[in-house]
Amino acid sequence: MLQEESDLSLIIAQIVQKLKGSNLYAQLERQAWASLQRPEIKLESLKEDIKEFFKISGWEKKLQNAVYSELSVFPLPSHPAAPPEHLKEPLVYMRKAQGSWEKRILKSLNSMCTELSIPLARKRPVGEQKELLNKWNEMGTDEPDLSLFRPVYAPKDFLEVLINLRNPNYENGDSLSFRTHLGLIQVPLKVKDIPELKEFFVELGLTSGQLGIDDSTQVPPELFENEHVRIGQKVLTEQDSAAAQQYVRQGSPTALRAELWALILNISSHPEDILYYEQLKTNVIQHDLLVDSLIYKDVKLTASNDDYYFVFEDYLYQVLLCFSRDTSVLSHFAYNSASPPKSYIRGKLGLEEYAVFYPPNGVIPFHGFSMYVAPLCFLYHEPSKLYQIFREMYVRFFFRLHSISSHPSGIVSLCLLFETLLQTYLPQLFYHLREIGAQPLRISFKWMVRAFSGYLATDQLLLLWDRILGYNSLEILAVLAAAVFAFRAVNLMEVTSLAAAEAVLADLSTLKVMPLLQIFLFATVT
Amino acid sequence: QSTQGRGVPPYCQQRASIRFKTTLMNTLMDVLRHRPGWVEVKDEGEWDFYWCDVSWLRENFDHTYMGEHVRISHFRNHYELTRKNYMVKNLKRFRKQMEREAGKLEAAKCDFFPKTFEMPCEYHLFVEEFRKNPGITWIMKPVARSQGKGIFLFRRLKDIMDWKKGTAGKKLTSLEAQPARNTVNPSGSHDTRSSDDQKDEIPVENYVAQRYIENPYLIGGRKFDLRVYVLVMSYIPLRAWLYRDGFARFSNTRFTLNSIDDQYVHLTNVAVQKTSPDYHPKKGCKWMLQRFRQYLASKHGPEAVETLFSDMDNIFIRSLQSVQKVIISDKHCFELYGYDILIDQDLKPWLLEVNASPSLTASSQEDYELKTCLLEDTLHVVDMEARLTGREKRVGGFDLMWNDGPVSREEGGPDPSGMGNFVTNTHLGISSNKKKKPCQLHR
Specify whether B301 is located in the same domain as B386. Answer: yes
* HSE of B145, CA atoms in CB hemisphere, 13 A: 17
pLDDT-derived band at A144 (thresholds 50, 70, 90) equals confident
Q: Is B362 on the interface with A (CB under 8 A)?
A: no
Which residue, among A465, A423, A457, has the nearest Cα to A440 in the 3D structure?
Answer: A423
Specify whether B134 is located in the same domain as B90. Answer: no
pLDDT-derived band at A201 (thresholds 50, 70, 90) equals very high
Do residues A394 and A385 touch, judged by C-beta distance below 8 A? Answer: no
Angle between helices A383-396 and A59-73 (to 10 degrees): 50
How many distinct structural domains can be found in chain B? Answer: 3
Which H/E stretch holds residue B27? Answer: helix B27-34
Q: What is the pLDDT of residue A404?
A: 94
Do residues B414 and B408 touch, judged by C-beta distance below 8 A? Answer: yes
Q: Give the strand pairing for B64-66 and B2-4.
A: parallel
Specify whether B127 is located in the same domain as B102. Answer: no
- From the CA of A260, how many Å to the nearest CA of chain B? 12
Q: Is the pLDDT of residue A526 over 60?
A: no
Select, from the ranges A324-338, B117-131, B399-413, B415-429, the one with the highest average predicted confidence (pLDDT): A324-338
Mean pLDDT of B89-104: 90
Whether residue B170 lies inside any domain: the answer is no
Q: What is the pLDDT of residue B115?
A: 87
Q: Is the pLDDT of residue A92 over 80?
A: yes
Please list every residue in chain B whose beta carbon sits closer than 8 Å to the beta carbon of residue A379. 298
Do residues A151 and A105 touch, judged by C-beta distance below 8 A? Answer: no
Q: Give the strand pairing for B207-211 and B218-219.
A: unpaired
Specify whether B389 is located in the same domain as B342. Answer: yes
DSSP state string for B55-109: HHHHHHGGGEEE-TT-EESS-TTTHHHHSHHHHHHHHHHHHHHHHHHH-HHHHHT
Q: What is the pLDDT of residue A467?
A: 96
Whether residue B182 lies inside any domain: the answer is no
Specify whether B254 is located in the same domain as B370. Answer: yes
Q: Is the pLDDT of residue A193 over 60?
A: yes
SS3 content of chain B, % helix, strand, coil (to 5): 35, 25, 40
Cross-chain CB nearest to B221 (options A138, A305, A459): A138
Q: What is the pLDDT of residue B272?
A: 55
Mean pLDDT of A94-108: 90
pLDDT digits (tens, 9 = 90+) for A266-301: 998 888 889 999 999 999 999 888 888 889 889 988
Averaged confidence pLDDT in chain B: 78
Specify whether B327 is located in the same domain as B250. Answer: yes
Do residues A198 and A523 touch, judged by C-beta distance below 8 A? Answer: no
Mean pLDDT of B23-34: 87
Mean pLDDT of A454-467: 94
Q: Give the strand pairing for B392-395 and B349-355.
A: unpaired
Share of chain A above pLDDT 70, in %: 94
Select, from the ranges A82-96, B11-25, B79-93, B280-294, the one with the highest average predicted confidence (pLDDT): B79-93
Specify whether B102 is located in the same domain as B143. Answer: no
pLDDT digits (tens, 9 = 90+) for A375-426: 999 999 889 999 999 999 999 999 999 999 999 999 999 999 999 999 999 9
CATH number at residue B354: 3.30.470.20
Share of chain B above pLDDT 90, in %: 26
pLDDT-derived band at A23 (thresholds 50, 70, 90) equals confident
Phi and psi for A122 in degrees, rounded to 5? -150, 155
Share of chain B above pLDDT 70, in %: 72
Q: What is the pLDDT of residue A173?
A: 67
Q: Is the pLDDT of residue A345 over 90?
A: no
Query: For residues A97 and A509, what is the distance between their CA atoms, to the nearest angstrom?
Result: 35
Q: Is A251 exposed, middle or buried (0-12, 13-18, 19+ CB in 10 A)?
A: buried
Distances (CA, A) of A432 to A276, A466, B101, B257: 54, 34, 75, 60
Whether residues B302 and A255 touch (CB distance < 8 A) is answered with yes
At a CB cut-off of 8 Å and minimum separation 6, what does B245 contact?
Answer: B229, B288, B289, B290, B370, B373, B374, B397, B429, B432
Distances (CA, A) of B325 to B5, B80, B188, B236: 29, 10, 9, 8
Specify whether B86 is located in the same domain as B120. Answer: no
pLDDT-derived band at B226 (thresholds 50, 70, 90) equals very high
- Which range, of A303-317, B49-63, B165-179, averages the lowest pLDDT? B165-179
pLDDT-derived band at A154 (thresholds 50, 70, 90) equals confident
DSSP state string for B260-276: TT-HHHH---HHHHTTS
Specify whether B364 is located in the same domain as B383. Answer: yes
Q: Is the pLDDT of residue B185 over 50?
A: no
Chain A residues touching chain B at CB-CB below 8 Å? 137-138, 140-141, 216-218, 254-255, 257-258, 304-305, 307-308, 310-315, 377-379, 381, 458-459
Whether residue B88 lies inside any domain: the answer is yes
Whether residue B427 lies inside any domain: the answer is no
Phi and psi for B391 in degrees, rounded to 5? -110, 15
SS3 content of chain A, % helix, strand, coil (to 5): 65, 0, 35
pLDDT-derived band at A334 (thresholds 50, 70, 90) equals confident
Q: Is the pLDDT of residue B228 over 90?
A: yes
Mean pLDDT of A204-230: 85
Query: For residues B142 and B152, what is the distance between their CA atoms, to the nearest angstrom?
Result: 10
Specify whether B319 is located in the same domain as B371. Answer: yes
Please list every residue in chain A whose beta carbon sits closer than 8 Å to the beta carbon of residue B294. 254, 378, 458-459
Specify whether B347 is located in the same domain as B366. Answer: yes
Do residues A75 and A18 touch, judged by C-beta distance below 8 A? Answer: no
Q: Is the pLDDT of residue B259 over 70?
A: no
| Residues found in chain A | 526
pLDDT digits (tens, 9 = 90+) for A48-75: 888 888 888 888 888 888 888 887 777 6
pLDDT digits (tens, 9 = 90+) for A423-444: 999 999 999 999 999 999 999 9
Please list every residue in chain B whose beta carbon sits closer than 8 Å to the beta carbon of residue A304. 280, 283
Angle between helices A2-20 and A23-35 (to 10 degrees): 80
Please list every residue in chain A whose beta carbon sits closer than 8 Å to the beta carbon of residue B253. 138, 141
Which residue, among A67, A11, A73, has the nearest Cα to A332 in the 3D structure?
Answer: A73
Q: What is the pLDDT of residue A426?
A: 92
Mean pLDDT of B327-338: 92
Cross-chain CB nearest to B291 (options A216, A217, A458): A458
Query: For residues B203 and A368, what is the distance between their CA atoms, to the nearest angstrom?
Result: 56
Q: Is B364 on the interface with A (CB under 8 A)?
A: yes
pLDDT digits (tens, 9 = 90+) for B366-417: 888 899 999 999 999 999 888 888 888 899 999 999 999 888 877 654 444 4
CATH number at residue B138: 3.30.1490
Q: Give the strand pairing for A121-123 and B64-66.
A: unpaired
Which residues span the domain enclosing B47? 18-73
Mean pLDDT of A463-482: 96
Q: Is B259 on the interface with A (CB under 8 A)?
A: no
Please list every residue in chain A whose beta carbon sits closer than 8 Å to the beta carbon of residue B301. 255
Specify whether B136 is located in the same domain as B247. Answer: no
Please list every residue in chain B whose beta carbon sits closer than 8 Å to the beta carbon of residue A310. 283-285
Under DSSP, the state recorded for B432 is -
Q: What is the pLDDT of residue B191?
A: 44
